[in-house]
A and B are shown apart, each in its own frame.
Chain A
Amino acid sequence: MYGKGLRQLSIATVVALAASLSLVFFYAPLDADQGFIQKIFYIHVPLAIVALVGFVVGALFAIAHLRSSDRRWDAYSYVSIHMSVIFGVAVLITGAIWAKASWGHWWVWDEPTLVSFLIVFLMYATYYPFRYAIEDPERQARYASVFAIVAGAFVPLNFMAVRLAQSLVHPRVFATTNGGLPGSMMLTFLVSLVAVGLLWLTLVKLELTAKSASGQLKRLRRALDAPVPGARSRIAPEVS
């Protein structure tokens, strides 16, 4: 039932990604300062924004789970956070490449957004060991939701603290958003943001579909008394 609309969504994602990449390479002007390498901005920043939004969405699903104690919301929360952590790896890698190209170092400690993102990523990376160390599935779902809410409250606090810890603020692309970023760059950026957002949505839906299919298969096997391979899957909440 989660597979419904997956094909249309995938096609929309492919079209949006193709549009965003063609805009990035053929339409957006070269940055006067940084040249070609600045184009990584169109993939790095949307990835970061989508990952952070995904963490917040995970926290909202977690609140819904605690309020209704419907296990479906926990699965949504898990998949949202899971996908955002994967996007987070991509953010850190593209960020390191950008830092190397424009500042000459793979890691720059006085770029507050990058450092904040690393801390948020480390926080969410503990979601997995935390979740799978709790055996009772019902308790696991509840505690994972509490974790998602606590971490959701932590994200803005962390960004604020890291930003305040910088003695001098580096020049940033977005420092000039209101007027500095030319219209053509802004358009390209927005299209890329939509494309990456759609990609996130498609992958979340795909994972939910896969989980739901394997859950159904397992139930069918059990109903037919067929042997269930691998007894109980530790990977993830089951989706009904």
Chain B
Amino acid sequence: MTPSPIAFKAILAKDLRAELRSLQSLPAMTLFAVTTFVIFRFGLDRTSLSGSLASGVLWATLLFAALLGVNRLFVAEREEGGFDAIRLAPIDRSALFAAKATALLVYLLALELVVVPVFAIFFLDSAAALGPLVAVLALADLGLAATGTLISSMAVHSRARDLLGPLVLLPLVVPLMIAATGASEPLLAAGGPGYHRFGTWLAVLCLYDLVFLLVGYAVFDFLLED
């Protein structure tokens, strides 16, 4: 039995290398997000955003861009027989969950590294909110990575996988989005960042992450049985 940390590292390195070479997900996600900002600029007819409008635009865009990555997450495993290889390998199956969730987390962080500064340049008057926003982004990404990996690994086995992933994932992340937008709204307020109920929302995000990481870890074994 190969120890889980080694299996985890191997799968994660494989995923990141494959993404770096093929560039299938990240450029598409980034381009999608930037274009969506442009659409919001005309859809809302605003040249600068603040408060709830800013946090809504930011999170709706990030969420839909993340869906693109979630959809592609297991496609290679399915099409190239990676699932069979994992089943044959003498490793703990949860290593696959951990590695895939980490890979998705890396994609999301990389996406935000580019897209959030672009958002600030496009719409925000000052960059003061970006510092504390990092905490919100990181916690929300963790939750998205956990639920996204779980749903994607199931949806990829279905007939309509591109449809099912987003369909099931969207209602599932509603609480996450409530907390993320709730924390970001005062941060992005017009008169400089505020911290109204910031701690409460971060606690909700932590709880969400914890619950779905544990659920994912607990049920992932059953998804690979055959």
Is the Cβ of A129 less than 8 Å from the Cβ of B167?
A: yes
Min CB distance B155 to A, Å, is 8
- Which of B26-34, B86-94, B175-183 lies at the binding interface? B175-183
Question: What is the total of A-B residue contacts with beta carbons within 8 Å?
Answer: 91
CA distance A153 to B207 in the complex (A): 11
1/0 per position for A146-168, CB-CB distance to B under 8 A? 11011101100110111011000
CA distance A147 to B226 in the complex (A): 18
Also in contact, A154 and B175, with CB within 8 A (given A146-B154, A164-B204, A165-B182): yes
Is the Cβ of A157 less than 8 Å from the Cβ of B171?
A: no
Is the Cβ of A133 less than 8 Å from the Cβ of B164?
A: yes
Task: Report which of A135, A149, A158, A165 forms a contact with B215, defined as CB distance below 8 A.
Answer: A149
Number of interface residues of B (CB under 8 A): 35
A122 within 8 A of B: yes
Min CB distance A69 to B, Å, is 9
Is the Cβ of A146 less than 8 Å from the Cβ of B222?
A: yes
Q: For B163, list chain A residues within 8 Å (CB).
A: 129, 133
CA distance A142 to B219 in the complex (A): 10
User: For the side of the interface on A, what is the size category?
Assistant: 20 to 34
CA distance A220 to B160 in the complex (A): 34
Q: For A147, list chain B residues within 8 Å (CB).
A: 154, 168
1/0 per position for A102-128, CB-CB distance to B under 8 A? 000000000000000001001100100
Is the Cβ of A157 less than 8 Å from the Cβ of B208?
A: yes
B225 within 8 A of A: yes
Is the Cβ of B219 less than 8 Å from the Cβ of A154?
A: no
By a beta-carbon cutoff of 8 Å, the part of chain B in contact with chain A is: 147, 150, 154-155, 157-161, 163-164, 167-168, 171-172, 174-176, 178-179, 182, 197, 200-201, 204, 207-208, 211-212, 215, 219, 222-223, 225-226
Starting from the known contacts A126-B171, A158-B175, 5 additional A-B residue pairs (CB-CB under 8 Å) come to A119-B175, A129-B167, A133-B160, A149-B219, A161-B174
